[in-house]
Chain A
Amino acid sequence: MRGTFLAAAIFIALGVIAQGFWFPADARISLEKCTLCHGKPEFRKILVDGKIRDLFATADSLKGSVHEKKTCVDCHFDVSEIPHRQRPQRVTCTHCHYKGNAEGAPQSDAYLEYFGSVHGNAIAGGNTKAPLCQDCHGNHSIHKTKDPTSAVSRGNVAETCGRCHIEIYAVYKTSIHGVAVSQGIPEAPSCTGCHGEHKIYAHKDPKSTVFATHVAAQCSTCHGSVSIMSKYGIEAEQVTTYQNSFHGVASGFGSRTVANCASCHGVHDIRPSEDPRSMVNPKNIPATCGKCHPGANPNFAVGKMHVDSHSKESGIIYYTAQFFKYLTIGTMLALIAHIFLDMYGRTRRLRGDK
């Protein structure tokens, strides 16, 4: 009697375990079950603050995205019964997206950079409005960065950032870089071009690519490159002339107060100097220079700003430099010749020659 009961118990237990091998899909919720509710176009929730959260999602939601082959519960894995009693947790992308994953996600540790960034720190600090992965990359319609329809593609990333940074986006959109991006110029920088992608820091953070002492290097990644600048008729020597000027040298020695590119040209509102709204338009130069040099007047704009003493266009500065160059060479040659003649004479006398 007891033996029969044990045998029956073992048989049933094995049967239950074996079910897992034979019918794996049955343990999970199928797409059809989700779309029973979420497939209705009017399925939405009105939040306490009056905003409407659209909860419509069908099999087409993932179509064309990088997650095309995934089903709902691959990401919303905390949903184990239908209908779910609680609101599902936010999706944790790092569930699959880490180096060494077996899910077929890209083998990349880029997400780690996010945690140290200003956004990751804000999330860790309890700011519920700070962005997680899906806030920039999209929820269901995630595409590769190279894909122009992606929310983080070169053309769209500014708009994506602008969803939160709306004032900056408005300023950037009309700047020379914003216009160039909207014209589809491939080298023109969008937000991420200067601020970085995942490792975005506040501009006061020394780790930031746009920290006061890093701005010049960040701008010169493009503006110092002759091959890029020559395509658009922009002078690439602006970088060297800045680096040789007192502003550039002091910035190189770690001064944070001295002018960098952005101090004069603007941060998000960079415009060509011909534009009357540009900070470096001759009309606006007294105000721009006056930020650091109180009492600046139109004389600040007389003469080239990025002056290069080696180029003939600099006029009197070039000739001054040339005069001193030949004066130094001439004087030093004469003096060094005198020294060597003196040493020659001494050697000769030591040797006993007359």
Chain B
Amino acid sequence: MSANDKKESKQDTLEREVESVVDEETAGLDPAEAGRIREKVRARVLEEVERERRIRTAAERRAEERRRREEKRRERLHEEGEMFERFNRNFRFQHIVMFTSVIILVITGMPIKFPEFVLSRFLVNMWGGIHNATIVHRIGAGMLIYFMVHHLFYTVFSRQGRRDFILLIPTPKDARDAVQNVRHFLGKTGEKPRFGRFSYIEKFDYWAVYWGCVIMIGSGVFLWGEEIVLKFFPKYVLDVAHEMHSDEAMLATLAIVIWHFYNVHFNPDRFPGTLMWWHGQISEHEMKEEHPLEYEEIMAKRSKQKAAEVPNP
């Protein structure tokens, strides 16, 4: 018996089974009605069998998967509207590299600042002792330095990078937005400030990371190459670098854990966090809510494009 015959017989048994069930269920109905139901069931079964065959190969299964996702997305689109790309792939990659390295740096660095803390001993022993922890810390440092270099190149050489950098420069509007936002929180004014592509909160985060990276990498490199540094500088320079590294680490960790986590995780709108860092997409609904000026800009651009595309009669 060949494999094909086997499949054939399997299909036959399936058909017979379905038929017997249908017979049982339609026993009380009149023959015309029963016939119609039987036809319907047959069509449905055939459709299912056909579908099964269609997704038989792995490639087909993947395509099917994609089709279903697309369907799901279209359903969601109905609620949230169109999806816009907020962060491009390069920017998302940078963010992932950065937060991975920062997590590594914090869990290997903080035990050195707080050796008495209950978790510290665990966090150090996890790597197999303080010596290994310092190696892991340097791996994290290497990742952060890579991120910084990558971002500088991105800012200079990428169109999107240059555009975003200019939009991230603080303006007087940000101060006005901050004041209006506080007034809004206090109920003094009903209107939320209308943000562009980057709100003053996001601008603060961006420049905080800039400041943090400069201080941490600067002092960290000094501490890393202490023997070379001591060839040219007296010891108190290293002590200052150590103090800066230790204190700025505290500030950065607090800012991330309290401020950034509140804005992207614990904030009731976002809890427990969105996947925007992974797919970079923002819905039309969110766009109108949080970046209305950018949304309007995009819409205006589109209508202009459409107008340009209309062929001359």
Q: Please report A residues at the B interface, Cβ cutoff 8 Å.
A: 246, 249-250, 252-255, 257-258, 293-297, 299-305, 307, 309, 314-317, 320-321, 324-325, 327-328, 331-332, 335-336, 338-339, 341-342, 344-346, 348, 353-354
A339 to B260, CA, bound (A): 10
> Once the chains bind, are A257 and B131 in contact (CB under 8 Å)?
yes
24 A-B pairs in the complex with CB atoms less than 8 angstroms apart = A250-B130, A253-B115, A253-B124, A257-B131, A293-B226, A295-B227, A296-B230, A297-B230, A299-B232, A303-B239, A315-B236, A324-B244, A327-B251, A332-B251, A332-B255, A335-B258, A339-B258, A341-B182, A341-B185, A341-B186, A342-B262, A345-B185, A345-B187, A354-B187
CA distance A336 to B20 in the complex (A): 69
Q: Which residues of B contact A (CB under 8 A)?
A: 111-112, 115, 121, 124, 129-131, 133, 182, 184-187, 190, 226-227, 230-236, 239-240, 242-244, 247-248, 250-251, 254-255, 258-259, 262, 267-268
Specify the chain B residue showing the minimal Cβ separation from A251: B130
Task: Give the secondary structure class of B's interface.
Answer: helix
Q: A255-B131, A345-B186 are in contact. Are A324 and B235 (CB under 8 A)?
A: no
List 10 extra interface pairs beyond A303-B235, A336-B258, A338-B259, CB under 8 A: A249-B115, A293-B226, A299-B232, A299-B235, A307-B236, A315-B236, A332-B255, A335-B259, A341-B186, A345-B186
Check A328–B234 contact: CB distance below 8 A: no
Q: Which residues of A contact B250 (CB under 8 A)?
A: 324, 328
Question: A314 → chain B, closest Cβ, in Å?
Answer: 8
CA distance A160 to B112 in the complex (A): 43
Verify B247–A353 contact, CB threshold 8 A: no
Q: A316 and B234: CB pair below 8 A?
A: no
A324 and B236 in contact, given A250-B130, A344-B186 (Cβ under 8 angstroms): no
Q: Which residue of A lies closest to B266 (CB)?
A: A339
A155 to B103, CA, bound (A): 56
Which chain A positions have C-beta within 8 A of B244? 320, 324
Provide the residues of chain B in CB contact with A315, threshold 8 Å.
236
Chain B residues contacting A257 (CB-CB under 8 Å) are 131
Residues of chain A within 8 A of B259, CB atoms compared = 335, 338-339
Contact assessment for B243 and A324 in the assembled complex, using a CB-CB cutoff below 8 Å = yes
Identify the closest chain A residue to B244 (Cβ): A320
Give Cα A321 to B121, complex, Å: 26
> In the complex the two chains form, is B235's CB within 8 Å of A345's CB?
no
Q: Which 4 pairs, one residue from A and one from B, show the smallest C-beta to C-beta distance? A: A302-B234, A303-B236, A345-B185, A324-B247
List of A residues within 8 angstroms of B186 by Cβ: 341, 344-345
**Contacts between chains A and B (CB distance < 8 A), count:** 113
Given A325-B247, A331-B251, residue A339 in contact with residue B112 (CB < 8 A): no
Output the nearest chain A residue to B114 by Cβ-Cβ distance: A249
Give the residue name and chain of the A residue nearest to B263 (CB): A339
CB-defined contacts of B254 to chain A, threshold 8 Å = 328, 332
CB of A98, distance to nearest CB on chain B (Å): 40
Closest residue to B124 on the A side, CB-wise?
A253
Residues of B near A300 (CB, < 8 A) are 230, 235
Closest chain A residue, CB of each to CB of B252: A328
Q: Which of A294, A317, A353 contacts B240 (CB 8 A)?
A: A317
Among A249, A258, A294, A353, find the residue whose CB has the most chain B CB atoms closer than 10 A: A249
Residues on A with C-beta less than 8 A from B185 are 341-342, 344-345
Of all chain A residues, which has the CB nearest B133?
A253
Q: Which residues of A contact B112 (CB under 8 A)?
A: 246, 249-250
- The smallest beta-carbon distance between B247 and chain A, in angstroms, is 3
CB distance from B90 to the nearest CB of A (A): 29
In Å, the complex CA distance between A331 and B255 comes to 8
Instruction: Report the minimal beta-carbon distance from A136 to chain B, rounded to whole angstroms.
Output: 38
Among A328, A348, A354: residue with most chain B CB under 10 A: A328
Which of A295, A320, A353 has its CB near the most chain B CB atoms (within 10 A)? A320
- Tell me which of A293, A315, A341 has the highest count of chain B C-beta atoms within 10 A of its own C-beta: A341
Complex alpha-carbon distance, A331 and B205, angstroms: 12
Our pick among B182, B226, B239 for the contact of A307 (Cβ within 8 Å) is B239
Contacts of A324 in B (CB 8 A): 243-244, 247-248, 250-251
